[in-house]
Amino acid sequence: MTKIIDTKEENAYFISKNNMIVNVNPLFKQIVGYDTVLGMHIEELWKLIDIQKYNNGYVIVQKNSLKKYINIEVYESLDRTEKTYVFREKRSNFEEVLNLTSLINPSKINGFAIFSVPELRLIYCNEKQVEIYEELSGTKINPVGKTIFQLFSDFRERDLYLISKKAIKNNESIFLKDYRFDTADGSTKYWDVVLTPVANMDKKYLCVICNDVTESVLNKQRIEEQNRLLQSIIDNISEEIFIFDKDGNYIKFNKITKENGTYANMKKIYDGYTQYDYYDLLNNKIKKEDFIVTRVMKGEKVTNEVVISHDSGERYLCLSGQPVFDETGNLKMGVMTLKDVSNDILYQQTITRQLNMLYQVIHNLDLPLLRVTYPDLKIIDINPRAFKLAKSKAHNVENMKDMLGKKFETVFSNFTECHSYKNIYECAKEKKTKNLKNCEYIIDGKKMYANLIYEPILGFNGQVEQVVVLVIDVTSERQESLKMENMLLKQEEFFTNISHELKTPLNVIYATAQLFDMFCKSDSLDSKKEYIIKYIKTIIQNCYRLSKLINNIVDLSKIEAGYYELNKTNENVVNVLEEIVMSVVQYSESKGINIIFDTNVEEKIIACDSEKIERIVLNLISNAIKFSDKGDDILVEFFDMGDFVEISVTDKGTGIDRDKLETIFERFKQADKSLSRNAEGTGIGLSLVKALVELHGGIIKVESEQGEGSKFTVRLPAEEVEEIKPLVGSDIMRSNNHIVSIELSDINR
């Protein structure tokens, strides 16, 4: 034992205690090729080096797969608890070398050769070695008896020559792994080569064992190339990539993972979980059994799952995991990707907040608005104003939720036939805003006008994903526009009528003037006196017609402009009416029409402008006379109703169509628009009457049947003014004839 210890630098040994290896010297590690035998059970060591009994020694297999022929000496301590095993390499003779080669698995050997030293002449080789030499040289040869330099002319230039000399000089075996040879046909071969010097008596030899590993090396190169390609691919992926084996050990990372460094320094997949906390989007801590890597290890595929990590501050991580199985269906490895989506999540949260604000604005917007998906046109949002409009057109809809998620055509019948369908698709196709103006709808029985705006919303891919429909109620504007159009039309009618009304008296006056001129030139004034008097009356009547027309236009314009004032006094309106009726008897009788005045009281004092009351009544009587036939009666009635009084004028003339009753009080409106109508008039008389009645605080209405006559009723408030101005009856009487002449001037005589 002492001898061994003293010479330990010259011997390879290890010491075991209770069959556990407790000490190993460097020479022993060099012989077996393993550094990690300390602490190993001795039986594990024998198994590791595949020790076998051979002749008077042992054969062991080194880590590089070479075999060593050794002797083993064992020394035991006095207490028999420690043993020292000394390994000495045995120098084998030629026969032993040949016997040793027989132990090698022939199926794994491509060639075996023995060269004499120092001339390196081949004295023996097997058939496989012959095939190797022929493949390298490209010719059929008998290599035995030839030197290595004859077999390979450039052998001295090869590193194999120097390696062979080293093996012979040091008398040691040398293992060359994946040694490359280029064959004569230009292909490349790889061999594992073992050079072993041996001695037989005083002769030295070099044994060469060649093991063809070309296929293995090429496969390895392909795998390495694939690995390089895979590494290049994953290094150019912006997401962090982790590849781990079935035991959860990390085996590969991509470039960005290594640069970030958070996970690249970890050995196992659970290291990150034990070091950091992870939460789901509801802020619940994720348990280990629910963690993504655990699920991948169980064979589950995980796609785009977002977790919150507290590894380096709060981060949002989008994780995906893919298990990889072998041909038997067992887990071989797993691949996991990680992308920091914190900015995206924060941006999305900002957008969500903004959208929520937008939705609040939309739902509180006073304009109807809805959003639909494109191209399937599903309703995804609608505000209360839009729902109120849509409900009247939709079917099977009680509330807004009933519409959400449904297609337009399922909510609205005949949708594909309406203008909205066409405009939505045109808006999406052209990616431009579309406007549709003055669309007419009937909502709750009322006519509504709206401008529709169709606005496309583009997605990240630049394609239309949604369309927003905005409804702007323009009913009041449209109604005003229609009123204006109607007013312009009425004005056009008015100017047509007024030109006729102006032209007729002017033509009469002009013709009469020409006739007088002719009388003057022919000195026949005295003889034509009777005609002249008649024509002078015609001129006066047409002057009255022009005065009435001008007065009506001026007064109506003043009233509409707000510059017209009443001169109210407390009058006995019964007396005023009676005088008015009496003043037109002469005219009515000339037409063969009888006028009757009737009242239920003899006196009724009210505040009124007697001159305007006279114009009102005369205008109504004038209309009654114009549309009555000879022999008809016109009834003028007065009724004291307490708080108000009623004045009515009834005739049995042609009457008015029902559809004209609501418009006859409009300015420039006539029941008969033709130029061949039965009576003259501009169409502003009744409009002026209505305005004067309303200035008195009253109302006017008409009742009529076509062919049955008409009844106009004026209702005035029965009230008085505080200051009573004296009424001079003679003044009224003096003005009556003039006013009557003007107001009745358009009655044909």
Mean pLDDT computed over 157-180: 88
pLDDT tens-place string over residues 235-252? 888 888 888 898 888 888
Which of 104-113, 399-408, 423-432, 733-742 shows the lowest mean pLDDT across its residues? Answer: 733-742
Whether residue 618 is predicted with pLDDT greater than 80 in this model: the reply is yes
Q: Tell me whether residue 539 is exposed, middle or buried, using C-beta atoms within 10 angstroms of its C-beta: 0 to 12, 13 to 18, 19 or more.
A: middle
Residue 5: predicted pLDDT: 44
Q: 449 in helix, strand or coil?
A: strand
Cβ-proximal residues to 531 (8 Å cutoff; 6+ apart), any chain: 515
| Across 417-427, average pLDDT | 76
Strands 709-717 and 644-651: antiparallel
Asked if 435 and 452 touch (Cβ cutoff 8 Å), the reply is yes
The band of 4, judged by pLDDT with boundaries at 50, 70 and 90, is: very low
The rounded distance, in Å, linking the Cα atoms of 659 and 55 is 136
Predicted pLDDT of residue 7: 45
Query: What is the arithmetic mean of pLDDT over 724-745?
Result: 54
CB-based burial label for 606 (10 Å; 0-12, 13-18, 19+): buried
Instruction: Say how far apart CA 239 and CA 253 lie, in whole Å.
Output: 11
pLDDT per residue over 80-118, tens digit each? 889 999 998 765 554 455 554 544 444 455 788 999 999
Mean pLDDT (the chain) is 81
Residue 692 backbone dihedrals phi, psi, to 5 degrees: -65, -35
Looking up tokens 């070091």, which residue turns up?
275
**Could you read off the pLDDT of 584-594 as tens digits, one per residue?**
888 888 889 99
Binned at pLDDT 50, 70 and 90, residue 706 comes out as: confident
Q: Contact, 168 vs 204, CB < 8 A?
A: yes
For the CA atoms of 147, 152, 154, 159, the dihedral, rounded to the nearest 10 degrees, stands at -80
Exposure of 266 by Cβ count < 10 A (0-12 exposed, 13-18 middle, 19+ buried)? middle
Look at residue 395 in the predicted model and tell me its pLDDT. 63
pLDDT for 407 beyond 60: yes
Higher-confidence position of 403 and 41: 41
Residue 670: which pLDDT band, with cuts at 50, 70 and 90? low
Q: What is the pLDDT of residues 47-78, one digit of tens each?
A: 998 888 866 788 888 877 667 778 899 998 88
Q: Are 318 and 305 in contact (CB under 8 A)?
A: yes
> In the structure encoding, which two tokens stand for residue 295, read together?
């699920």
pLDDT single digits (tens) 509-550: 877 788 788 878 887 777 777 878 877 877 887 787 777 778
Running DSSP on this structure, what letter comes out for residue 194? E
- Judge whether 208 and 148 are in contact, CB under 8 Å: no
Residues 6+ apart with CB under 8 A from 7: none
Give the span between the Cα atoms of 207 and 608, in whole angstroms.
148
Chain segment 427-440, per-residue pLDDT in tens: 888 888 888 888 77
Could you give the percent of the chain with pLDDT greater than 70?
84
DSSP 607-630: EE-HHHHHHHHHHHHHHHHHT--T
Query: How far is residue 674's CA from residue 659's CA, in Å, rounded to a whole number?
Result: 17
Q: Which two tokens stand for residue 427?
A: 């808006």
The H-or-E segment that residue 706 falls in is none
Among 89-103, 155-169, 398-412, 452-466, the range scoring the smallest mean pLDDT is 89-103
Q: Is the pLDDT of residue 283 over 70?
A: yes
Question: Which pair of structure tokens corresponds to residue 600?
Answer: 């239920």
Mean pLDDT for the stretch of residues 605-626: 90
Select, from the ranges 416-425, 546-555, 730-739, the one with the highest average predicted confidence (pLDDT): 546-555
Using a pLDDT cut of 90, give the percent of the chain over it.
18
Among residues 601, 720, 625, the alpha carbon closest in space to that of 680 is found at 625
Look at the block and give the residue holding tokens 């390089």.
Answer: 228
Place of tokens 């009753």: 661
State mean pLDDT over 152-180.
87
Confidence at residue 438, expressed as pLDDT on a 0 to 100 scale: 81
pLDDT single digits (tens) 467-481: 888 888 888 888 888
Look at residue 103 in the predicted model and tell me its pLDDT: 46
Q: With bands split at pLDDT 50, 70 and 90, how would you rate the model's confidence at 605?
A: very high
Give the Cα separation of 295 and 301 in Å (integer): 8
